[in-house]
Structure 1
Amino acid sequence: MARKAKKNNRIERVLWLLVLIVLGGVSLFLSIRYLLQQEQEKKASEARYTAFGITMPSGYDIHGIDVSSHQRSIAWPEVKAMEVDGTRMGFAFIKASEGLNDADKKFKTNFESAKAAGMICGAYHFFLATKSGKDQAANFIRQAGLQKGDLPPVVDIEQLYGVKPELMRTRLKEWLQAVEAHYGIKPIIYTYADFYNRNLGKKFNDYPLWVAHYLEPEKPRVGREWTFWQHSETGRVNGIITAVDCNVFNGDSTAFRQLLLQ
């Protein structure tokens, strides 16, 4: 019995030692992650540029950016405060979700901090043509939590991933209808000009379009009306360490306010 008791005690000590090692490892990991986060935030708050680093298209009054976790930490008050030749960034589209279950790890922090800094915010979902449109809509709705005064919901569709265009259109329509039913407003479709012209076209002309078309001096070349134009992916904005997408709104301040969730 004594020998068995000693053996049990040794096992118990080993188990406690393993628990302490695991707890120490977790504590070290969390400490390192916290320090890295603090360092990223410091770098973001110190990021300064004398200009946006790109040629801004003329004739547009309302400018903004779109971001995701790829931009890492963002100092939103610096974003809001930057002004070059009378141009400021007034709105931000922020990635909320992707596919069936993925949530952007920076969405909540970015959305809350951007709004607190005075930015008009919207949320977008990165659409996977290989997955159910309804299920992807449910994922977006869970993550986004859009409210009155926010920009309309956005679906970002860029690739077919080997899916036939007709099936992609069916799934995309499912997403659009489900999200419209939830928010009571037509979602915005984001895509490249070429992708829209080849794969979407007239069947989706009833939805507002946010079109990406770079190296165009005045406006995107797409065969329909558009609401937002992503004119560059290499902008530089105070408070952001990395390059960032830059956009303009196609309208005045009254039209912009009318676009927001009521």
Structure 2
Amino acid sequence: MPPPVKKPPVPAKKDKVPQKAKAPAKRKTAAQKKKEQTTAVYWRIAIAGLLLILLSPFYYGYVLRSFSATWRWILDIGQDTKYRTYKNFNVRIPSGYTIHGIDVSSYQGKINWQKVKAMNDDGVHITFAFIKATEGVLSMDPYFQRNWREAPKAGIICGAYHFFLPHKSGLWQARFFLQTVKVEKGDLPMVVDVEQLYKTSPAKMREQLSSFVTYIENKTGVKPIIYTNISFYQDYLQGYFDDYTLWIAHYYQPVLNISSKTNWQFWQHSDKARINGISQKVDFNIFKGDSTAFHKLLIP
């Protein structure tokens, strides 16, 4: 018999190095999944909204307006037109003006003019007052005579104003105004307040206003002041009464945004002032020039 074939020895098994078991994957809770989905939706909405805004012409218009307003503000600061709040008067007052005043009517009730005159906040005090006298062809302000008498006693320089109704005769309104008000040397010129059309055409309004101011000037020898707000002036009066002194209402602004060629001398810059001796809010005004120019304006 042939010799038996020897089988090669089976190598001994090497000990396997134990491997770390992989940690089982953590499953996200339903709340976590919902939060992630909600966040993703919010991001998509935000991105879509931003794209819509950036592509919208309204956005660019807003940006341009904001830039323009900011640039004007920078220019205003450069021109020393600070807009400071005076605590006692409870209003912001444009800087660069030294002569301040108010205008009143029966709305302010019974006024203690001595207290008005005595009020002072860092040099700002009341120098003048425009007082409502009449309206239309029949209505006289019930507090006019008292205010017209008591304000000058307190040392305040006064002017009377008439509230103009364009649908009424300008001539008859002027006659009524002069019958009610007796101006004297040292008073401010008479004022006509025109600020609404009352369903009258602009041309008809200007015709009646022209009759009014012409009659006043012929009878007193002094051109009356025309009071109006800035939009009414620009829409209906600009270019028609340029040789008259203007009193413009334009609220809560550091500068009066009107052409330097405009003959304005008074600016009503706020309707919310608080004045000692007056229970209601009051319109606050400034005079454009210095004391010399102010006294030249008074009735000689």
Aligned-residue offset at 1:55: 0.7
Aligned-residue offset at 1:183: 1.1
Task: Work out whether residues 211 and 220 of structure 1, in 8 Å CA contact, stay in contact via their aligned partners in 2.
Answer: no
216-225 or 156-165, which deviates more: 216-225
1:154 aligns with 2:191: yes
Q: Which runs of 4+ in 1 moved over 4 A?
A: none
Task: Work out whether residues 212 and 220 of structure 1, in 8 Å CA contact, stay in contact via their aligned partners in 2.
Answer: no
- Give CA-to-partner distance per residue, 1:192-218, whole Å, 9 cap, x none: 011001001111011000000012112
Higher relative contact order (CA 8 A, sep 6+): 1
Partner-residue secondary structure (3-state), 2:130: strand
Task: Work out whether residues 79 and 239 of structure 1, in 8 Å CA contact, stay in contact via their aligned partners in 2.
Answer: yes
Structure number with higher helix proportion: 1
Greater C-alpha radius of gyration: 2
Gaps of 5+ in 2: 1-85
* Counterpart AA for 1:126: F
CA distance in 2, matches of 1:259, 1:80: 21
Output the TM-score relative to the length of structure 1.
Answer: 0.80
What CA RMSD, in Å, does the superposition of the two structures yield over aligned residues?
Answer: 1.2
Partner-residue secondary structure (3-state), 2:239: helix
CA distance in 2, matches of 1:196, 1:243: 25
- Give the count of matched residue pairs: 214
| Mapping 1:78-117, distance limit 5 Å | 78-117=115-154
Gaps of 5+ in 1: 1-48
2:221 to 184, 189, 195: 184
Task: Work out whether residues 171 and 212 of structure 2, in 8 Å CA contact, stay in contact via their aligned partners in 1.
Answer: yes
* Equivalent position of 2:232 in the other structure: 195
* Counterpart AA for 1:67: V
1:230 to 268, 281, 288: 268
Aligned-residue offset at 1:56: 1.0
* Counterpart AA for 1:232: S
Output the TM-score relative to the length of structure 2.
Answer: 0.70
Task: Work out whether residues 194 and 228 of structure 2, in 8 Å CA contact, stay in contact via their aligned partners in 1.
Answer: yes
Partner-residue secondary structure (3-state), 1:134: helix
- Give CA-to-partner distance per residue, 1:212-243, whole Å, 9 cap, x none: 00121122435613110000000011000000
Partner-residue secondary structure (3-state), 2:174: helix
Task: Work out whether residues 154 and 189 of structure 1, in 8 Å CA contact, stay in contact via their aligned partners in 2.
Answer: yes
CA distance in 2, matches of 1:235, 1:168: 31
